[in-house]
Amino acid sequence: MKEYLSEEELEDLEGEFSERYSDVLDNFEDSLIDFYKRNQYQSFIDLMKKVKEFCYAGGAGGIEYFKNMWEGDPRLSASVKSLSLQSEYPDGITAEDIRKEITFFIQGKRNVFAKEIYQQFQQFQHNQIQKCLSDLCKEKIIRKDYDSFGRLVYILL
């Protein structure tokens, strides 16, 4: 008996799984999008666990499908971070709270790329982060600069 499947065999099984359960998988994705857009992070996390269980129950094809399509989904880590922040700030997060989070993130680093900040704080709206960065620069807490390749960086003053 063969101990492992070749890459081609896994691709075939993944394709079969995807085709067989396309309606179910589409419904999962639609629900995940809806939960995430509505900031229903616990529901998002719970459903993602169900998606994993469903896919893993489908055997090698389902496992491969989950690994390629769902594993490492950035919305999951953003949802976990958001829940953590919600428990840390039960009365709701303010612009001042976001500024503190950004300052703490930059602290101890030589410089931080703007992209890193936006990735770290995906749970906040882009314009909220942008406004907080602008305010921190105006208050001379951080400085906006560019590296030798022209990439935007922020430096704590």
pLDDT at 108: 78
User: What mean pLDDT do residues 39-67 have?
Assistant: 95
* pLDDT grade for 51, boundaries at 50, 70 and 90: very high
pLDDT at 2: 55
Domain membership of residue 2 (yes or no) is: no
User: What mean pLDDT do residues 11-35 have?
Assistant: 95
Q: Is the pLDDT of residue 1 over 60?
A: no
* pLDDT grade for 77, boundaries at 50, 70 and 90: confident
On whether both 57 and 100 belong to a single domain, the answer is no
Please name the residue ranges forming H helices in 21-73.
22-37, 41-57, 59-69
Better pLDDT: 21 or 91 = 21
Give the tokens for residue 66: 């989950």
Query: How many Cβ atoms are within 10 Å of 119's Cβ, its own excluded?
Result: 12
On whether both 33 and 75 belong to a single domain, the answer is yes
Looking at this protein, which amino acid is placed at residue 30?
Answer: D
Domain hosting residue 65, numbered range: 7-83
On whether both 71 and 102 belong to a single domain, the answer is no
Look over the chain and give the mean of its residue pLDDT values, rounded to a whole number: 89
Domain membership of residue 88 (yes or no) is: no
> Is residue 98 helix, strand or coil?
helix
Distance CA 8, CA 151 (A): 40
66 close to 56: Cβ distance less than 8 angstroms: yes
Domain stops at, among 23, 52, 83? 83
pLDDT at 81: 82
pLDDT at 54: 97
* Domain tally, the chain: 2
CATH number at 144 reads: 1.10.10.10
Distance CA 104, CA 7 (A): 44
Q: Is the pLDDT of residue 31 over 90?
A: yes
Q: If you average pLDDT over each of 50-54, 76-80, 106-110, 116-120, which comes out highest?
A: 50-54
On whether both 32 and 62 belong to a single domain, the answer is yes
Distance CA 52, CA 69 (A): 11
On whether both 102 and 149 belong to a single domain, the answer is yes
Distance CA 49, CA 66 (A): 11
* pLDDT grade for 93, boundaries at 50, 70 and 90: confident
